[in-house]
């Protein structure tokens, strides 16, 4: 592929995930192929008492300063990931033109734990006990706002909420901001932290969660015949996107090309996917069209792979139908669980790393997919594969479907 100066390229990655608190730990965790779900003290006594907590360390210390007291956990994770991504890109906020820098961070829910805590205070002690910081701490756009403040980014600041597709939606919007000329740099990704008794009980009540309480690490099993639901996770991932020509001019490096993005809506059901996968297919086909690829050009697919009966059945049929040449398939949720709005961004990072390393991580807890699926799932150990072009799927409640098309970065001229 020629070095197209207008191409959207990834120049920086930053993460906080259940598999590790930085890029290297995360990649090692994915390649190990072992689920990290564990029993959580705060969920004790619930029908589902386990989740994938992020390996975040001391977030207050990592964020620093007095502003940390006005931030919910998901905001802190987003800010740490954003700083790491910007540093990885070789950029400095004190030297860039902030008016040309955008921030797009997908969040599905926001600071639900802060909200619940303040409801309890109101009930127990009355109005004066409610924190004056409740609103800025719980609002979903707090992550985008706080990251923009911290990075001195004065361009567009957006907080797309497309449920579990939010992180991928953010990257698609970031690509649009660069291609339209509104921004020269966009810091984009997703963050979520809702591992709370209320949210876990709600998901369990609708039958969405795995109930393998006896073996949490084996509970998330994308595409397995005996899958019984997803495992809730939390985390954040941020990517820095720029135009290739600008990166070359400043002597930076491109880690991958975001060659295309597509989105479509099922308009079928609030929580169940269209069983025919028509919305997902439109999203994938749009991403391929914008990348200028044919389906046969795709070497690898990073699947949404939630470990739920309905999603995995729909996605398996979609992949087998559109890609009969059987590209390799992986699904990070087997390791890290379902991080909701952060998932699309975390899995975009995984896709970039697969392109860079020529290595496809295995799907945790999957010995082999059902024979009738027709999928070439990577299982048990990483597979060495030179991947030139890859897709990352993200689907969300509300019928949101997003597909991102990533390509290996060309060698700079």
Q: What are the residue numbers of the active site?
A: 164, 304, 338
Q: Is 310 exposed, middle or buried (0-12, 13-18, 19+ CB in 10 A)?
A: middle
Residue 58 sits at φ, ψ, to 5 deg, of -90, 95
- Sheet-wide strand order for 157-158: 157-158, 101-106, 185-192, 235-243, 8-16, 256-265, 400-408, 389-396, 300-302, 328-330, 376-377
Is residue 187 within 8 Å of residue 102, measured between CB atoms? yes
- What are the CA-CA distances from residue 233 to residues 227, 259, 268, 366 (Å)? 17, 29, 26, 19
Residue 82 sits at φ, ψ, to 5 deg, of -65, -45
E-strand ranges in 136-234 read: 157-158, 185-192
DSSP assignment letter at 340: G
For residue 169, what are its two tokens?
């939606």
Residue 342 sits at φ, ψ, to 5 deg, of -80, -20
For residue 410, what are its two tokens?
């060309």
**Distance between CA atoms of residues 345 and 166, nearest Å:** 8
What residue has token string 């169940």? 272
**Distance between CA atoms of residues 380 and 368, nearest Å:** 9
Nearest in space to 408 (alpha carbons), one of 259, 238, 243: 259
């Amino acid at each position: 592929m020629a070095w197209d100066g207008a191409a959207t390229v990834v120049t920086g990655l930053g993460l906080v995930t259940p598999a590790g608190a930085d890029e290297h730990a995360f990649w090692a965790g994915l390649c190990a192929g072992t689920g990290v779900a564990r029993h959580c003290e705060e969920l004790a006594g619930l029908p589902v008492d386990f989740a994938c907590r992020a390996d975040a360390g001391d977030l207050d210390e990592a964020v620093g300063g007095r502003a940390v007291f006005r931030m919910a956990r998901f905001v802190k994770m987003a800010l740490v990931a954003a700083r790491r991504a910007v540093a990885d890109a070789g950029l400095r906020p004190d030297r860039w033109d902030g008016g040309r820098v955008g921030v797009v961070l997908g969040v599905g829910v926001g600071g639900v734990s802060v909200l619940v805590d303040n409801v309890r205070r109101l009930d127990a002690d009355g109005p004066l006990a409610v924190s004056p910081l409740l609103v800025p701490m719980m609002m979903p756009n707090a992550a985008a706002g706080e990251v923009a403040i911290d990075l001195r980014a004065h361009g567009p600041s957006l907080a797309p909420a497309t449920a579990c597709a939010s992180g991928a939606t953010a990257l698609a919007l970031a690509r649009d901001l660069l291609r339209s000329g509104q921004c020269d740099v966009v810091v984009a990704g997703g963050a979520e932290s809702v591992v709370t008794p209320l949210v876990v009980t709600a998901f369990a009540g609708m039958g969405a969660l795995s109930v393998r309480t006896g073996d949490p690490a084996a509970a998330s099993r994308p595409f397995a015949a005996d899958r019984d639901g997803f495992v809730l996770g939390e985390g954040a991932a941020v990517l820095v996107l720029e135009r290739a020509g600008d990166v070359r001019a400043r002597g930076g490096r491109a880690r991958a090309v975001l060659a295309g993005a597509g989105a479509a809506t099922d308009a079928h059901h609030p929580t169940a996917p269209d069983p025919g996968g028509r919305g997902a297919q439109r999203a994938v086909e749009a991403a391929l069209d914008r990348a200028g690829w044919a389906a046969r050009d795709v070497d690898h697919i990073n699947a949404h792979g939630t470990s739920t009966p309905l999603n995995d059945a729909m996605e398996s049929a979609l992949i087998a139908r559109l890609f009969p040449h059987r590209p390799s398939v992986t699904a990070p949720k087997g390791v890290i669980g379902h991080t909701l709005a952060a998932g699309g961004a975390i899995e975009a990072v995984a896709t970039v790393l697969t392109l860079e390393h020529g290595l496809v991580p295995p799907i945790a807890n999957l010995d082999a997919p059902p024979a009738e699926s027709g999928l070439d799932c990577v299982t048990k150990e990483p597979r060495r594969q030179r991947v030139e072009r890859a897709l990352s799927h993200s689907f969300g409640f509300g019928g949101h479907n997003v597909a991102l098309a990533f390509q290996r970065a060309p060698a700079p001229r």
